[in-house]
Amino acid sequence: MSNPTTPVIEDRTPPPGTRAGRSRGYAADVWYQFRRRRLSMAALTFVVGLTIVAILSPAIVGTKPVICRYRGQIYFPALGYFHDRWENAVFKTRDKFRGVYPKNLTTKDPQSWAVWPLVYQDPYRRVRANEWKDQPANPSGDQGVPSQYNLFGTNQAGIDVFAQMIHGTRVALLVGLFSTGISAIIGVVVGSLAGYFRGWVDVVLSRCIEVVMSIPALVLILALISIFEKTSIWHVMGVLGLTGWTGIARLTRGEFLRLREMDFVVGARAVGASGLRIMFSHILPNATAPILVPVSFGIASAILVESALSFLGFGPPPPNPSWGTVLNAGRSNLQMWWLIVFPGSAIFLTVLAYNLIGEGLQEATDPRLRNNEK
Amino acid sequence: MKTAYWIGVGLCVISLWGGCNRNADPPVTDAGLVSEPVTPATTSPPPTKSTDAASTDAEKSVEVSSAPAAKPQFQLGDMLDPFEAPPLAELDAQANWIDRPVSDGIERLRERQANESTFDTVEKALSIRNDSEESNRLICAALGRLPAHESDVDPNAKLVRHTYIDMKSTNPLMQSSVIEQEIAGMTSFGLFSFDWNFQPFASADSVRSWQSSADRMYDKVVMRDDLTWSDGHPITAHDVEFSFKAIMSKAVPALAVRHGTDKIKWVHAYDDHTLVFFHKEPLATNDWNIFFSSIPKHVYEKSIADDPKMQVSDYHVRLENSPVVGGPYRIASRTFAKDVILEARPDYYMHQGKQVRRAPRFQQIRFLIMTDSSVALLAVKRGDIDEFILQPQQWQSQTKDADFYEKCTKAFGVEWVNFHFLWNCKTPYFSDKRVRQAMSYAFDHEELLKTLLYGLYQPCNGMFHHASAWCPPNAAPSYQQNLDRAEELLQQAGWSDSDGDGVLDKQIDGKLIKFEFTVNCADAAERVAICNLLRESLDQIGVKCNVRPLEFTVLTERGTTHAFEAMFAGLGTGTDPDTSDNIFGTGQDRNYGQYSNPEVDRLFAEGRREFDPEKRRVLYQKIHQLTYDDQPFTWLYYRNSYYAFNKDLRGFVFSPRGPYSYSPGIDSLWKPALH
Amino acid sequence: MVNYLIRRLLIGCLTLVAITAIIYALIRSMPGSPLTLQMAEVDPSKAISEQDFQQMRRMYGLHKPIHEAYLGWLGSLCRGELGRSISRKQPVTKLIAERIGPTLALSVSSLILTYLLAVPMGLYSVVRSNRPEERCLATGLYMLYSLPSYVAALLLLVLFAVRLRGTAFELPLFGMVSDGHAQLSWWGKLADIAWHMVLPVTCYTYGALAFMARFVKSNMEEVIRQDYIRTARAKGVGSFGVIVVHAFRNTLIPFVTELGLTLPGLLSGSVILEQIFTWPGIGRLFFESIAERDYPTIMGLTLMFSLMTLVFQLLADILYAVVDPRVTFQ
């Protein structure tokens, strides 16, 4: 007999073969759909792998020990690759290691031990003879063919390309995200406001877009580089981001102009949704298609842009191990094929990966694409 | 709403129009109407807010006397103090003329080569590869010879040269880049020249006699009477006088050629062929001031007043495209971004039917403009270009195979262009000479010379090249890296790592200053790599160095305004050691690093006045010694000349100024006649 | 419509003034000066004295404050003059006129070629989506995209201008015209220029293919799943008709936007490719005049570029209304 105080619970067991429970929510749903596409997942794994390589780069290749114990204390000299000050002064001014760790550690403190990176090479300088066991000095000029000690060869100054590529991954990953991120955010916001509200908002914002678009990017970049004292790659990419949002803005605006007339928007308005809510929850997910392409190309092309700027003489100053600088070193001597092939392949794989992720995102966010039916 | 909107727009447009037409005077940003002369801004108030140098008397009188709408008259030679030239007879009486050499670069070279050995035959030189000092000597000696007989020369030969930049002006007074200097050398009329030992002489092609007064205040030149401009008019001394006055006119932008010429007091043409140069002071450097090119007076004298820039009026634009020249070649055509073609002028060497001068060796010289060095090298290998400057990397790896040696060979010679780090002596870092010496000890010179420069360049140990007369015979050798010594010197100078952060510091005026500075350089990859090596070397002793590549114009500006801490730059050699005064003298224009040593200044001043070559040499040797000790520069290396030459080319001879910037220079090149 | 046009044009003038003012302020704020002598490094006797330098500055009006100089430039612009280049000593209009033709020849040809190739490739990718052949095509296009243009240009030059010299496949090494160009017939001249254009146009185009093909595909993916497409297919319209006639036209808004965004780029050329191919175009002029701080030339070029951008954006906005009847003008 049922207890009258027990609430009656409907039988919510779903029939066999259907999905159970509440809806996941937009983001989780997208992720679920994305996970089902094998190629896009492979691409995402690649990018995650690159991120791990970037984080662990001093442990993969470097001339400074990852961990060492010296004179009773534990140090992490390899962190000096991330930031100068993280390499303890003990090795620099006090005990005068002169940048060469292996011999100095053992001679100055026989009790010391160290965990070394997998490959002993440096992205900033040429490794000399007898620094590390019986590793010879890096060849220079055009002699730096890929070899057992220089996996990807060396450039004309004798700096190891493998080290530059690995340490350059940091820059390669972040630079594109940084500049394209800025462009995308500004572009989407401006474009959607202009496209949705129209009227004088559109006039003013369109004029802003035109002003920024009509300023030749080259002038702006060169002017900003020479006016500001700082010319690190982040500043250059920041400038690129601040000048490159106009394309995305116009594309977004076009999409919003088109979509705002559609029925679902009318419906949302009828229900009482506010303008911003309609824009970002209803229209924007449908407007992503044309935006994803410039964004996914933009992330990868930032490296090519950096290389082009180096060609023109406006590249970031050293030390700057990046794929773009390796590529630029190879252009004056095409016979040194390793300077082109390795960064070129890396850029190619990155372009491929980001585009596959973009494609995957597009298909995951668009319900019509899900079942691959045509 | 709408009407208000339109009214607002209309008002904006009108106000803009009004604002624009406020400045209805003649050009301010050079947006000039074609026939208007250049004016200083007569409508603006007197320059109380400008930072210009004090205006000279001429400029003041112009501003005071002109009404707001009137244009000030152009005055030829308004930078000169008025001077009455004494009659020639008077001058001849008091001057005690000494004869000076009148000679010919080619003859001098021929004499020199008569005493030199060729080591081997031309065939051998063409068949070997230039991969050692020995082979280079063979190639230079065998292929660099002047022709034994005139019949050996191909009279219809064409020469194709390479240039990275286009020519901006054909007027020899307006030279501003290397290509214009070279073309002016071939097309313009000049009186003097100098050889590979920097000995000046009057050119026998233009001058009959050259004499200097005993006190060196006057130079008298008697020109030849068989000289003609390309439009048929004879070249006279009046042309030279006119050119001098044109250079010394404020409104004429003859920037590069004015340097040196402005030290002459006056130039007077007594008749069609007799010229006297009047100098301000009796200096040993007076010889070098009289080297300037001439433009034809009859062509420019009337038009220069209307258009002192010589580039704006229609008449001058026509002249720019086909100028009237006095040299062996004339400008046949200029195609922008493509080439400049010079052709030999028969009326240069023929006068009234007879040959009076040596004919130029080439019928046509063509300058191909190619901005990319890799593509230009491809053109050289194909045989499209006959001579080309090789970058170190190209010499080392791209010109050693059969595909290069099929049509070309290569050669190098010592050139006295040195590269150095320049320290700003007024910064807290580099004011102490021990710190500057420490920098020189810290730098890894060997890595630079052997690796970055492929072993191609020689080390530099001071102001003057060790082969020049002005370098002391037992000069100290160039610095070698010695990090311990560097640290010792820094410690003596008061720098140490007191706060234990890995960077040296020092207490100056109560503040703790870190030894962190920026080194500027031009934005070429090789230079950036050298500065990177400095950064790496200094990193090992706790000094933080940031590399900043800059555009050339910004680099120069920072230098002239002393707004830098260190920079990497190059310096060619002047023909006279006194040109270095501009660089090392206290407060001089090109003393970017603000180096100051009163003893050096005194020696320079003395050297100018010393006529005895031996005594003079000793003075400059002392200067070399003093500057070596003070290390205002960290001298790094001499950039030699590395050239690729087509196998058809002969007669190239290297000098401390490269193969062309001296006499005979380009004139010694020739191509053999095919038999 | 006419109202809209007039309004846009007037506002466009104001925008132009704003743009040129910003650029002028920017380039005048850059350190450096047009009076720096290039040769001073090699020959120390050819230095310019401080006095001369200041005097030259006055002569070229460089001592004036920025706003005054800008208004002066604007004033002479209203009178129809773009001024005279400081370093090249020629009128700016002449400099631009000489160089705009070659740049347009390259960029317009490359634009047409890109669209001709990329649109069919994009449509093909949509139809054969996720099949191996489409994946191969996409991968191939990405490889092309990843190869920087200056490397490809040099490789192609080595192959066609050096290795294949003397054969029927030879292509020229540099320049826009051959040496004997002036003597050729009208038809011969055209053929000569076309022969010189092959490699530069190839280099201009191959990188853009990946982007455009992906762009077209991405836009089509969404459209092709609409109901009206299913209806069209059900009605029996052939594949070609469905894709091109029904589907593609619905992607025209972003397409037009993209076109409007690339058209201004036609005028600016590519600095790097013009340098490598020794092409007498405007990109190189732009770059050099910035390096030389040649203010009149930079302003002239900026004006031209901005004007064209505004015109093309206006065209794109008008085309929106043409292409999609739902978009109206206020």
Separation CA A214–CA C311 (nearest Å): 10
Q: Distance between the two ends of chain A, CA-based, in angstroms?
A: 55
Q: pLDDT, tens digit, for every residue of B40-90?
A: 333 333 333 333 333 333 333 333 333 344 456 788 888 888 888 889 888
Average pLDDT over residues B160-166: 92
pLDDT greater than 60 at residue C26: yes
Subunits close to C (at least 3 CB pairs below 8 A): A, B
The percent of residues in chain C predicted with pLDDT above 70, rounded, is 95
Separation CA C3–CA A20 (nearest Å): 58
Q: Which of A3-17, B473-487, C44-58, C119-133 has the lowest mean pLDDT?
A: A3-17
Higher per-residue confidence, B97 vs B52: B97
| Prediction pTM value | 0.87
**Structure tokens belonging to residue B629:** 């000790």
pLDDT greater than 50 at residue B564: yes
Q: Split chain A (374 residues) into runs of 10 and give each run's mean pLDDT.
A: 58 61 71 82 92 92 90 88 81 83 87 90 90 88 89 91 92 84 91 86 87 81 75 79 86 84 82 79 76 81 78 77 85 86 88 84 71 46
Subunits close to B (at least 3 CB pairs below 8 A): A, C
Separation CA A213–CA A262 (nearest Å): 29
Cβ-proximal residues to B480 (8 Å cutoff; 6+ apart), any chain = B441, B445, B446
Q: List CB contacts (< 8 A) between A301 and chain C.
A: 145
Are the beta carbons of B571 and C87 separated by less than 8 Å? Answer: no
pLDDT greater than 50 at residue B33: no
Q: pLDDT, tens digit, for every residue of B116-142?
A: 887 788 898 899 999 888 999 999 999
Average pLDDT over residues B501-505: 87
Interior/surface letters C137-166, b for 16+ CB within 10 angstroms, e for the rest: bbeebbbbbbbbbbbbbbebbbebbeeeee
pLDDT greater than 80 at residue B25: no
Interface of B to A at Cβ within 8 Å reads 373-374, 391, 393-394, 396-398, 447, 451-452, 454, 483, 487, 496-497, 500-504, 523-525, 528-529, 531-532, 535-536, 539-542, 544, 546-551, 554
Rounded to a whole number of angstroms, the distance from the CA of B223 to the nearest CA of chain A is 49
Closest CA to A187 of A244, A236, A256: A244
The pLDDT score that the predictor gives to residue B622 is 93
Q: Which of A76-90, B117-131, B624-638, C243-257 has the lowest mean pLDDT?
A: C243-257
Chain A interface, best mutation among C10, C142, C233, by max A CB count within 10 A: C142
Higher per-residue confidence, B445 vs A285: B445
**Structure tokens belonging to residue B626:** 């003093």
Residue pair B545/B564 in contact by the 8 Å Cβ criterion: no
B245 forms beta bridges with none
Separation CA C221–CA A369 (nearest Å): 8
Separation CA C285–CA C96 (nearest Å): 8
The pLDDT score that the predictor gives to residue C45 is 63
> Per-residue confidence at C249, pLDDT binned at 50, 70, 90?
confident
pLDDT greater than 50 at residue B39: no
pLDDT greater than 80 at residue B397: yes
pLDDT greater than 70 at residue B644: yes
Separation CA C259–CA C250 (nearest Å): 15
Are the beta carbons of A372 and C310 separated by less than 8 Å? Answer: no
> Per-residue confidence at C243, pLDDT binned at 50, 70, 90?
confident
DSSP state letter for A85: G
Separation CA C302–CA C297 (nearest Å): 8
The percent of residues in chain B predicted with pLDDT above 70, rounded, is 89
pLDDT greater than 90 at residue B160: yes
Average pLDDT over residues C156-179: 86
Rounded to a whole number of angstroms, the distance from the CA of A141 to the nearest CA of chain B is 7
Q: Which of A75-89, B85-99, B555-569 has the lowest mean pLDDT?
A: A75-89
Residue pair B124/B630 in contact by the 8 Å Cβ criterion: no
**Structure tokens belonging to residue A345:** 């392949």
The pLDDT score that the predictor gives to residue B36 is 29
For the CA atoms of B294, B297, B298, B304, what is the dihedral angle to 10 degrees?
Answer: 110
A119 forms beta bridges with A61
Separation CA B17–CA B8 (nearest Å): 14
Residue pair C329/A261 in contact by the 8 Å Cβ criterion: no
**Structure tokens belonging to residue A81:** 């690759």
Average pLDDT over residues B447-465: 91
pLDDT greater than 50 at residue B99: yes
pLDDT greater than 60 at residue B27: no
Are the beta carbons of A340 and C23 separated by less than 8 Å? Answer: no
Q: pLDDT, tens digit, for every residue of B238-282?
A: 999 999 999 999 888 887 888 888 889 999 999 999 999 999 999
Residue pair C73/B293 in contact by the 8 Å Cβ criterion: no
| Mean of the per-residue pLDDT values of chain C | 84
Residue pair B551/C291 in contact by the 8 Å Cβ criterion: yes
The ipTM assigned to this model is 0.88
Separation CA B573–CA A360 (nearest Å): 64
Tell me the pairing of strands B158-163 and B192-194: unpaired
The H-assigned helical ranges of B282-432 are 286-289, 297-300, 314-321, 346-349, 373-382, 392-393, 402-405
Out of A98-112, B510-524, C158-172, give the one with best mean pLDDT.
B510-524
Instruction: Show the domains of chain C with their CATH numbers.
Output: 2-78 (no CATH), 92-323 (1.10.3720.10)
Is B14 buried (19+), middle (13-18) or exposed (0-12) by CB count in 10 A? exposed
Tell me the pairing of strands B516-522 and B566-571: parallel
Distances, alpha carbon B157 to alpha carbons B107, B364, B399, B648, C179, in Å: 21, 7, 25, 10, 17
On the CB side of B406, CA atoms within 13 Å amount to 11
The pLDDT score that the predictor gives to residue B457 is 92
Sequence length of chain C is 330
Q: Is C69 in a helix, a strand, or coil?
A: helix
pLDDT greater than 50 at residue C187: yes
- H or E segment to which residue B334 belongs: strand B329-335
Rounded to a whole number of angstroms, the distance from the CA of A303 to the nearest CA of chain B is 18
The pLDDT score that the predictor gives to residue B5 is 61
The pLDDT score that the predictor gives to residue B311 is 84
The pLDDT score that the predictor gives to residue A19 is 59
Cβ-proximal residues to B9 (8 Å cutoff; 6+ apart), any chain = C10, C11, C14
